[in-house]
Amino acid sequence: MLQKFLRFISQNRLFDKDNDKILLAVSGGTDSVVMCDLSFHAGLKFAICHINFNLRGEDSVEDELFVRGLASKYGVEIFVKSFNTLQYAEKTKQSVEMAARELRYGEFERIMNTEGFDYTAVAHQKDDAVETFFLNLLRGSSIRGLTGIKMKNNRIIRPLLCFSRREILQYIEDNRLSFRLDKTNLETEFSRNKIRNEILPLFEEINPSFKDNAALSLKFLSGVKTIYEDVIAKKKSEILSDNIVKISDILDFIEPETLLFEITSEYGFNRVQCSEIFRTFSSDGSGKVFYSPSHKILKDRNTLIISEINEPLAIFTEIKEDDINRGIKVFDKGRLKFSVITKDDFSPVRDNKTVYFDLEKLVFPLEISPWHLGDFFVPFGGKFKKKLSDFFVDNKLSVNAKQNVRLLKSQGKIIWIIGMRASSLFKVGGSTKKILKIEVE
């Protein structure tokens, strides 16, 4: 395996084994233990990095102690970083898996930059690449996701991609290497583990050579992806000028919606938005605007104009009961004035800048937010739902006016299109005791 390891590094020019300094990402599992042992016997200049995500209680502590022992065994430097991953995932509102990935690769980059390492080696092997293909297939990925795992991605290298899990385990046995067993890899509640432990074994029952054949297919797909990216890049350079593209140039391409996605995804637009933009190509309408977190696309007759959003997207503002007591709340498009009145003092002002609600039915905090395509409300005095987009058309709102619309919500339900129309929700009724009066200034 050592010769195969060295040959894979050399043939794919992963790094210069005689001069480059490599940081090995080591969890203590079978794959990273084998990567350590092969790197040692190959005479590489390496150190070890271990990330303790604190997700497995005492096992996480034991993992760290084990990897420290590996560093001592091979006589190399070790870098250990501990994270409160659950807290970070909650704070950043992402899955634990994605939070751990972000923390891990961020730490690799930090160490490489501060300690002078040329690359970080992670211990993905051939089976991981096949699993990633199926995982991305489930997610509806593009061709980029269906090519498995890159052997080299900037400064991240994967020198074990030439080995199967079976070869890794055989090396462990032959060399009597100790390792740590991550029990979560045996669980089936995560998508990757379901693929690994339930789905792929079924394919191997049909064809024992399935994983090797799949690896060959991934290599072929990787070549197809290279050709695809080259064609797309050339076409984009031909038709995209100063972030303006003619719709006819897109439609002339053999796969126009695919080309549109490749153009728009670079600016943060997703597939759903791309499909919505593409559907407008069959209409003569102009002035339709689509937004990503960083850019907007304006359909102006026969062209698409892509531009940066000059001001941040609307700020989400919470209104707490303390704000009601203080009587005022500032938000990004103005300010709201509050007063609490009794039923006896109720003498409603009939204009769109003032609304009244049954205070005891509202659930705090209330929220001020922008509107999104698909939002609906029940207009005051009506009984049926109405899409906000239809309401805007009825009221002949311009593109700019729609961008400035803000909604007041209670528990996610729209109770007021601020300054325009109230909802029928939480309206003052016969049983109302306290009334919240809100005015927009």
Domain membership flag for residue 195: yes
Query: Do residues 46 and 165 share a domain?
Result: yes
336 part of a folded domain: yes
**pLDDT value at residue 36:** 97
Does residue 231 sit within a domain? no
Instruction: Give the CA distances from residue 343 to residues 85, 340, 356, 438, in Å, rounded to whole numbers and listed in that order.
Output: 51, 10, 11, 15
What is the spatial distance between Cα 302 and Cα 351, in angstroms, rounded to a whole number?
A: 40
Range of the domain at 261: 240-308
109: in domain? yes
Do residue 61 and residue 180 come from a single domain? yes
* Whole-prediction pTM: 0.60
Please check whether residues 301 and 354 belong to one and the same domain: no
225: in domain: no
Report which of 61, 55, 76 is spatially closest to residue 28, judged by C-alpha positions. 61
Considering its fold, how many domains does the chain have in total? 3
Backbone angles phi, psi at 31, to 5 degrees: -65, -50
How would you write 55-93 as a 3-class SS string?
Answer: CCCHHHHHHHHHHHHHHHHHCCCEEEEECCHHHHHHHHC
- For tokens 């992806």, the residue is 225
Low-confidence residues of the chain, pLDDT below 70?
182-190, 284-286, 310-315, 399-400
434, 330 contact by CB (below 8 A): no
Q: Which two tokens stand for residue 159?
A: 């020198």
Specify the CATH number for the domain of residue 9: 3.40.50.620
Residues 304 and 327 in one domain: no
Residues 403, 301 share a domain: no
**Same domain, yes or no: 126 and 269:** no
Same domain for 59 and 169? Answer: yes
329 and 194 share a domain? no
The distance of Cα 255 from the centroid of its chain, to the nearest Å, equals: 26
Q: What is the pLDDT of residues 24-51, one digit of tens each?
A: 999 999 999 999 999 999 999 999 999 9
Give pLDDT, residue 189: 46
Q: For residue 286, what pLDDT is reported?
A: 67
Strand partners, 367: 318, 409
Instruction: Output the pLDDT for position 187.
Output: 46
Of all helices (H) and strands (E), which one includes residue 50?
Answer: strand 45-52
Q: Around 43, how many Cα atoms within 13 Å sit in the side-chain half-sphere? A: 5
Would you say 338 and 324 are in contact if contact means Cβ atoms under 8 Å apart?
A: yes
Quote the pLDDT of residue 284. Answer: 67
79 plus 170 within the same structural domain: yes
Amino acid identity, position 234:
K
Considering Cα of 124, then 130, then 131, then 133, what sign does the dihedral take? positive
10 Å Cβ neighbour count for 117?
A: 22
- Establish if 282 belongs to a structural domain: yes
Q: Is residue 354 part of a domain?
A: yes
Q: Final residue of a domain: which of 308, 335, 359?
A: 308
Say if residue 326 is in the same domain as residue 276.
no
**CATH code at 287?**
3.30.465
Residue 187 contacts residue 193 (beta carbons within 8 Å) = yes
CB distance 25 to 108 below 8 Å: yes
Specify the DSSP element, H or E, that contains 152.
strand 152-153
Does residue 160 lie in a domain region?
A: yes
State the amino acid at position 186 in one-letter form: L
One domain for residues 298 and 330: no
The token pair at 233 is 């890049």
* Domain end (from 265, 289, 308): 308
In this structure, what CATH number is given to the domain that contains residue 348? 3.50.40.10
Answer yes or no: do 377 and 427 share one domain: yes
